[in-house]
Amino acid sequence: MAGTMSQHGHFRVWRIAGLVSLAVLVAVGLWSVWHWQYTQAAREAERHAHNRLTLYSSSLQGALERFAYLPGLLAQQTLIQAALTDETRLLATQANDYLSLVAERSGAEAIFLMDAQGVTIAASNHAEDDSFLGHHYAFRPYFRDAMDNGIGEFFAIGSTTGRAGYFVSAAVDNPAGTGSQGVLALKVSLESLQESWRQAGENVLLTDANGVVILSSRPEWRYRRLGELSEQAMLEIREQRQFMDEPLDPLGERLRDGTLSIGNQGIGERYLTKPLELATLGWTMHYLVPVRPLYASARNALLVAAGGTLALLLLGLWLRERQKRQRLRDRESRIIREANERLEARVEERTRELREAQAELVQAGKLAALGTMAAGIAHELNQPLSGIRTYAANGERLLHRERTQAAEENFRRIQTLCERLGTLIRQLKLFARKGGAREPVELAARLDFVLELLEERIQRQGVTLHVTLPANVPHDTIRVAGDEVRIEQLLTNLLRNALDALRGVETPRLEITLDDEPRRWVITVADNGPGIDEATLERLFDPFYTTKAVGDGLGLGLFISYGIVQDLDGRITAGNREAGGAWFQVELPKAEGGPRHA
Ligand code: ADP
């Protein structure tokens, strides 16, 4: 008992361990699917980002480079150089016109000329309200760089216009070659570029060297900073009034996984950032990939995988259940089969026992019948034989006395007794003739034949005969399987007995009916004789049972008839009619080919 318990316990432990490892396996598998899909989607997004960045950066570079040469070229112009030294300011007016023409042709937002103090003395937008003329730009790096190094570039929100732009500048040399006497600057608007990004519906940023967003496809992200700004840098920006009064708040928050979360209260959108450094001014272009679609795609893959796993699990469970049920069914059917086999074996055994018992009974019955028969035959033979012996002895004595007449009489009696013995032997022979042929025998024809043989007797006894054959059935189809002689014998026995019973009856009647029943023919022979008493009815078919006088009947007729009917698989019954008289009924199966009832 303890052994099976611990075995059961072991089984349980193994089962739980199996389930746990299956769960871990499934979890790890699902996580891998999630991770793989996420990585795959991120890689795809990064590739896309890289392509877009290349495209956008080259268009930006192109836009900037288009103007890069222009300030230097203009600074070489004598009109520009002369305008700086012209006390009368006449040339400045000319320069105004010239610069506005160049600006219009080149697409620059503004081109302006500053003197050595940074004061604008000529500008392409001289005619407009927010003209640069007279404005002081010495604080701008593009001025100072150009004065110091010959060229400068800068991105800033215009202090006059409030519009952001990229400034490129070149020093205007003194014709005498004594150094820079002013700066020619050109402002390029990048608004249209930004607008095209916005329209593409993508998240693109351009940050300067300090990490401040100077261009963005989303206007609300502009002038915010990515990362920290040093105090030094902040101070410089304020000094150069690069972004005017923009507060330069941080744009989102860098999370630990490197993603950038933009928005507030933590429900902001998260982005993967893909940077691309540009040659200009330490600028960096960023492409932002929203993380949510990546997660969504990973989640979808996870869902599909989980669904698949679940389906597999359910399939597995179902298969297991089916197998279990099948095993149960197999066991059940095996048990039933075994039980059946046992039962069959028992039935067979019982049948055999029964058959043996029956065989013994039959044997006993046969012996008994044989005994009765032997006694009957001995009795039947004995009587005529002793008669013959007596008549023969008498005859001899009479011959001695020469009473030949009387002796002849004795010899005649001997002959009669011999004939009787012959009849007995003939009947015994008939009885011995077992199992004759089985061919179709026409019942109606045999009945006719037998009636013809008995015609003389029927006439003599004045018997009224009624024969009823089935209507609607051709007589030659009323057939049974047997042999003619035995069927004639059967009919003769029944009719003879009836005629015997009608002896001495006042208005003797004999009724013969042939009925058509499903599968068999039924012959009824009925008379209006004295009928059969109880005791006789019981022994009617026994051999040598007769109520007739010695020499009238042997008591074999019905016994032989019974045997014949048995041989033909039929049935013979007898009884008394209510109106008086006896009936005998013989049922015989129809021969194949005869009419059959549904
Ligand atoms: P048997 O005719 O030689 O006597 P059976 O076996 O033919 O022998 O008949 C046996 C007995 O059945 C007859 O002795 C008779 O008593 C009785 N029996 C047969 N047929 C009839 C009948 N139609 N009416 C009355 N008794 C009958």
**Dihedral angle, C-alpha 137, 139, 141, 145, nearest 10 °:** 80
Measured by CA distance, the residue closest to atom 8 of ligand 1 is 555
| Residue nearest to ligand 1 atom 18, measured at CA | 497
In the three-class reduction of DSSP (H, G, I as helix; E, B as strand; rest coil), residue 359 is classed as helix
493 CA from centroid of ligand 1 (Å): 9
DSSP secondary-structure letter at 220?
G
Which parts of the chain sit beneath pLDDT 70? Answer: 1-7, 264-268, 430-436, 550-551, 593-598
Distance CA 194, CA 163 (A): 13
Note the pLDDT of residue 267: 57
Among 423, 431, 497, 538, residue to substitute to test ligand 1 (most atoms within 8 Å of Cβ): 497
The minimum-distance atom of ligand 1 relative to the CA of 556 is: 6
Within 10 A of 166 (CB to CB), how many other CB atoms are there? 26
Contact predicate 156/139, CB 8 Å = no
Which atom of ligand 1 has the smallest separation from the CA of 525?
Answer: 23
Contact 302, 35 (CB under 8 A): no
Q: Which atom of ligand 1 is nearest to the CA of 555?
A: 8
Largest CA distance in the chain: 219
pTM reported for the whole predicted model? 0.51
Q: Which residues line ligand 1 (CB under 6 A)?
A: 493, 497-498, 501, 527, 529, 531-532, 536, 540, 545-548, 553-555, 557-559, 582
Q: Which atom of ligand 1 is nearest to the CA of 545?
A: 10
Residue nearest to atom 2 of ligand 1 (CA): 553
Token pair for 524: 């009824």
- Side-chain-side CA neighbours of 270 within 13 Å: the count stands at 14
What pLDDT, on a 0 to 100 scale, did the predictor assign at position 103? 92
Name the residue at shortest CA distance from atom 21 of ligand 1. 497
Residue that has been written with the tokens 């089962």 in this structure = 15
pLDDT at 596: 44
Which residue, judged by its Cα, is nearest atom 3 of ligand 1? 553
335 Cα–ligand 1 center, Å: 60
Instruction: Using the mean position of ligand 1's atoms as its centre, give its distance from the Cα of residue 370 in Å.
Output: 21
Torsion sign, CA atoms 79, 80, 86, 89: positive
Helices (H) and strands (E) in the chain, counts: 13, 18
The two structure tokens encoding residue 298 = 């990973």
553: CA distance to ligand 1 center in Å?
8
| Residue nearest to ligand 1 atom 16, measured at CA | 547
Distance CA 351, CA 14 (A): 55
Which of 527, 528, 537, 558 has most ligand 1 atoms within 8 Å of CB, for mutation? 558
DSSP string, 261-320: EESSTT-SEEEEEEEEE-SSTT-EEEEEEEHHHHHHHHHHHHHHHHHHHHHHHHHHHHHH
Ligand 1 atom at minimal distance to the Cα of residue 527: 23
Name which residue sits closest to atom 23 of ligand 1, judged by CA: 498
The residue among 397, 380, 410, 400 whose CA lies nearest residue 551 is 380
Alpha carbon nearest to ligand 1 atom 20, residue: 497
What values do phi and psi take at 243, rounded to 5? -115, 30
Ligand 1 centre distance from Cα of residue 415 (Å): 27
Tell me how far the alpha carbon of residue 416 lies from the centroid of ligand 1, in angstroms. 23
Nearest to 483 by CA among 449, 452, 446, 527: 446
Contact assessment for residue 444 and residue 475, using Cβ atoms and an 8 Å cutoff: yes
User: Cβ(561)–Cβ(483) under 8 Å?
Assistant: no
d(CA 425, CA 570): 26
Taking the centre of ligand 1 as the mean of its atom positions, its distance from the CA of residue 413, in whole angstroms, is 27
User: Ligand 1: which atom is nearest the Cα of residue 497?
Assistant: 20
Instruction: Give pLDDT tens digits for 340-355.
Output: 999 999 999 999 999 9
DSSP annotation string for 137-164: -TTSHHHHHHHHHSEEEEEEE-TTT--E
CA of 14 to the centre of ligand 1 (A): 91
From ligand 1's centre to the CA of 590, what distance in Å?
Answer: 27
SS3 content of the chain, % helix, strand, coil (to 5): 55, 20, 25
- Atom 26 in ligand 1: residue holding the nearest Cα: 532
In degrees and rounded to multiples of 5, residue 239 shows phi and psi of -65, -45
Q: Locate tokens 């005869």: which residue?
A: 594
Cβ pair 103, 124 in contact under 8 A: yes
Please say whether the beta carbons of 93 and 105 come within 8 A: no
